[in-house]
Protein backbone atom coordinates (compact mmCIF):
# COMPACT_ATOMS: atom_id res chain seq x y z
CA UNK A 1 0.00 0.00 0.00
CA UNK A 2 1.39 3.36 -1.00
CA UNK A 3 0.09 6.49 0.69
CA UNK A 4 0.44 9.68 -1.30
CA UNK A 5 0.78 12.73 0.88
CA UNK A 6 0.21 16.34 0.02
CA UNK A 7 3.62 17.76 -0.88
CA UNK A 8 2.18 20.97 -2.21
CA UNK A 9 3.34 24.17 -0.67
CA UNK A 10 0.17 26.16 -0.28
CA UNK A 11 -0.29 29.82 0.58
CA UNK A 12 -1.89 30.54 3.91
CA UNK A 13 -4.83 32.90 3.63
CA UNK A 14 -6.78 34.83 6.23
CA UNK A 15 -9.16 31.86 6.54
CA UNK A 16 -6.31 29.41 7.11
CA UNK A 17 -5.70 27.89 10.54
CA UNK A 18 -3.40 29.69 12.92
CA UNK A 19 0.05 28.24 12.70
CA UNK A 20 3.09 28.79 14.86
CA UNK A 21 5.46 31.41 13.51
CA UNK A 22 8.58 29.51 12.46
CA UNK A 23 11.09 30.16 9.70
CA UNK A 24 10.95 27.73 6.77
CA UNK A 25 14.17 25.95 5.91
CA UNK A 26 15.12 23.47 3.19
CA UNK A 27 17.31 20.67 4.46
CA UNK A 28 20.53 19.23 3.17
CA UNK A 29 19.80 15.67 2.00
CA UNK A 30 19.80 13.32 4.98
CA UNK A 31 19.70 16.09 7.60
CA UNK A 32 15.96 16.45 8.20
CA UNK A 33 16.54 16.05 11.97
CA UNK A 34 18.85 19.06 12.38
CA UNK A 35 16.78 21.00 9.82
CA UNK A 36 13.58 20.33 11.80
CA UNK A 37 15.39 21.37 14.95
CA UNK A 38 16.48 24.59 13.21
CA UNK A 39 12.86 25.28 12.23
CA UNK A 40 11.53 24.58 15.75
CA UNK A 41 14.24 26.70 17.39
CA UNK A 42 13.36 29.65 15.15
CA UNK A 43 10.02 29.85 16.98
CA UNK A 44 11.99 30.86 20.09
CA UNK A 45 14.19 33.34 18.21
CA UNK A 46 17.16 30.99 18.28
CA UNK A 47 19.19 30.85 15.09
CA UNK A 48 21.76 28.15 14.46
CA UNK A 49 23.24 26.73 11.29
CA UNK A 50 22.12 23.32 10.13
CA UNK A 51 25.74 22.13 10.34
CA UNK A 52 26.06 23.23 13.99
CA UNK A 53 22.82 21.45 14.90
CA UNK A 54 23.97 18.37 12.96
CA UNK A 55 27.15 18.36 15.03
CA UNK A 56 25.24 18.74 18.32
CA UNK A 57 22.84 15.95 17.37
CA UNK A 58 25.49 13.60 15.93
CA UNK A 59 23.64 13.60 12.59
CA UNK A 60 25.17 12.45 9.33
CA UNK A 61 23.88 12.57 5.78
CA UNK A 62 24.38 8.81 5.54
CA UNK A 63 22.70 7.72 8.79
CA UNK A 64 20.40 10.60 9.73
CA UNK A 65 19.63 11.46 13.35
CA UNK A 66 18.51 9.42 16.35
CA UNK A 67 15.67 10.67 18.57
CA UNK A 68 17.92 10.60 21.64
CA UNK A 69 20.52 12.77 19.91
CA UNK A 70 17.93 15.42 18.96
CA UNK A 71 16.81 15.51 22.59
CA UNK A 72 20.41 15.83 23.77
CA UNK A 73 21.03 18.72 21.35
CA UNK A 74 18.05 20.69 22.69
CA UNK A 75 19.22 20.17 26.27
CA UNK A 76 22.75 21.32 25.34
CA UNK A 77 21.16 24.53 24.03
CA UNK A 78 19.36 25.10 27.34
CA UNK A 79 15.93 23.90 26.26
CA UNK A 80 13.40 21.60 27.85
CA UNK A 81 11.97 18.61 26.02
CA UNK A 82 8.59 16.91 26.15
CA UNK A 83 8.79 13.59 24.33
CA UNK A 84 6.54 10.62 23.87
CA UNK A 85 6.28 7.40 21.92
CA UNK A 86 3.00 5.66 21.04
CA UNK A 87 1.38 9.08 21.16
CA UNK A 88 -1.90 10.16 19.61
CA UNK A 89 -2.67 12.91 17.14
CA UNK A 90 -4.60 14.68 19.91
CA UNK A 91 -1.42 14.67 22.06
CA UNK A 92 0.39 16.56 19.29
CA UNK A 93 -2.55 18.92 18.68
CA UNK A 94 -2.69 19.78 22.38
CA UNK A 95 0.98 20.79 22.39
CA UNK A 96 0.78 22.80 19.16
CA UNK A 97 -2.68 24.37 19.33
CA UNK A 98 -3.23 24.81 23.07
CA UNK A 99 0.29 25.07 24.48
CA UNK A 100 1.74 26.81 21.40
CA UNK A 101 4.84 24.61 21.19
CA UNK A 102 6.44 23.36 17.96
CA UNK A 103 6.46 19.56 17.79
CA UNK A 104 9.01 17.54 15.83
CA UNK A 105 7.58 14.24 14.59
CA UNK A 106 9.41 11.19 13.29
CA UNK A 107 7.48 9.55 10.45
CA UNK A 108 7.88 7.48 7.30
CA UNK A 109 7.77 9.54 4.12
CA UNK A 110 7.25 7.31 1.07
CA UNK A 111 10.46 5.27 1.36
CA UNK A 112 12.49 6.62 4.28
CA UNK A 113 12.41 7.99 7.82
CA UNK A 114 11.71 11.69 8.03
CA UNK A 115 11.33 14.51 10.56
CA UNK A 116 8.98 17.47 10.19
CA UNK A 117 7.71 20.16 12.57
CA UNK A 118 3.98 20.30 13.35
CA UNK A 119 2.98 23.97 13.50
CA UNK A 120 -0.81 23.80 13.27
CA UNK A 121 -3.87 21.62 12.74
CA UNK A 122 -7.23 21.61 11.02
CA UNK A 123 -10.03 19.10 11.45
CA UNK A 124 -8.55 17.04 8.57
CA UNK A 125 -4.82 17.82 8.55
CA UNK A 126 -1.71 18.26 10.64
CA UNK A 127 0.07 21.31 9.23
CA UNK A 128 3.83 20.84 9.15
CA UNK A 129 6.80 22.94 8.26
CA UNK A 130 8.67 20.32 6.28
CA UNK A 131 12.39 20.72 5.59
CA UNK A 132 12.15 18.36 2.61
CA UNK A 133 9.99 20.86 0.70
CA UNK A 134 11.20 23.98 2.50
CA UNK A 135 7.65 25.01 3.37
CA UNK A 136 4.21 23.95 4.52
CA UNK A 137 3.07 20.37 4.04
CA UNK A 138 -0.31 18.97 5.05
CA UNK A 139 -0.46 15.45 6.48
CA UNK A 140 -3.97 13.92 6.36
CA UNK A 141 -5.01 12.86 9.87
CA UNK A 142 -6.93 9.92 8.42
CA UNK A 143 -3.72 8.44 6.93
CA UNK A 144 -1.15 9.70 9.42
CA UNK A 145 -1.33 6.87 12.01
CA UNK A 146 -0.24 4.37 9.33
CA UNK A 147 2.94 6.34 8.56
CA UNK A 148 3.73 7.74 12.02
CA UNK A 149 6.71 5.51 12.61
CA UNK A 150 10.41 5.53 11.97
CA UNK A 151 13.41 3.31 12.59
CA UNK A 152 15.90 3.89 15.40
CA UNK A 153 18.76 2.18 17.18
CA UNK A 154 21.79 0.33 15.90
CA UNK A 155 21.41 -0.26 12.17
CA UNK A 156 17.87 1.23 12.31
CA UNK A 157 16.26 -2.08 13.25
CA UNK A 158 13.89 -0.86 15.99
CA UNK A 159 10.50 0.52 14.92
CA UNK A 160 9.40 3.58 16.86
CA UNK A 161 5.64 4.26 16.57
CA UNK A 162 4.05 7.63 17.28
CA UNK A 163 7.18 9.49 18.42
CA UNK A 164 7.27 13.24 18.95
CA UNK A 165 9.43 15.82 20.66
CA UNK A 166 8.16 19.25 21.73
CA UNK A 167 10.67 21.86 22.82
CA UNK A 168 10.42 24.86 25.09
CA UNK A 169 12.73 27.32 26.79
CA UNK A 170 12.41 28.86 30.25
CA UNK A 171 10.62 32.21 30.35
CA UNK A 172 13.83 33.80 31.61
CA UNK A 173 15.72 32.58 28.54
CA UNK A 174 17.51 35.33 26.64
CA UNK A 175 17.96 34.77 22.92
CA UNK A 176 21.55 34.92 21.60
CA UNK A 177 22.60 38.16 19.92
Query: Out of 37-51, 67-81, 148-162, which region has the weakest mean confidence (pLDDT)?
Result: 148-162
User: Could you tell me the maximum CA-CA distance found in the chain, to the nearest angstrom?
Assistant: 49
Going from the C-alpha of 103 to that of each of 62, 114, 122, 154, the distances in angstroms are 24, 14, 15, 25
The residue count of the chain comes to: 177
| Percent of residues, the chain, with pLDDT higher than 70 | 87
Confidence of residue 172 (pLDDT cuts 50, 70, 90): low
Q: Model confidence over 87-132: pLDDT tens digits?
A: 999 999 999 999 999 999 999 998 899 999 999 999 999 999 999 9
Hey, where are the domains in the chain?
Answer: 32-168
CATH class, 32-168 region? alpha beta
Q: Which residue has the higher pLDDT, 28 or 174?
A: 28
CB 119 within 8 A of CB 75: no
5 pLDDT higher than 80: no
Q: How far is Cα 148 from Cα 103, in angstroms, rounded to an integer? A: 13
30 pLDDT higher than 50: yes
1 pLDDT higher than 50: no
**Residues whose CB falls within 8 Å of the CB of residue 82, separated by 6 or more in sequence, listed in order:** 95, 101, 165, 166, 167, 168
Going from the C-alpha of 1 to that of each of 111, 128, 139, 146, the distances in angstroms are 12, 23, 17, 10
Q: Model confidence over 143-160: pLDDT tens digits?
A: 999 999 999 988 888 899
Query: Out of 59-63, 74-78, 93-97, 102-106, which region has the weakest mean confidence (pLDDT)?
Result: 59-63
What's the pTM value of the predicted model, to 2 decimals? Answer: 0.88
4 pLDDT higher than 80: no
User: Which is nearest to 59 in space by CA: 46, 72, 42?
Assistant: 72
Amino acid sequence: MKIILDKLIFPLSMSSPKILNVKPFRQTTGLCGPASLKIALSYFGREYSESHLAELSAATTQHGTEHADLIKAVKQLGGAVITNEHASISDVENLVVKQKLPVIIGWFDEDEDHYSVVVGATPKYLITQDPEVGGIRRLPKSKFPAIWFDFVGPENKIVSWGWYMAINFPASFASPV
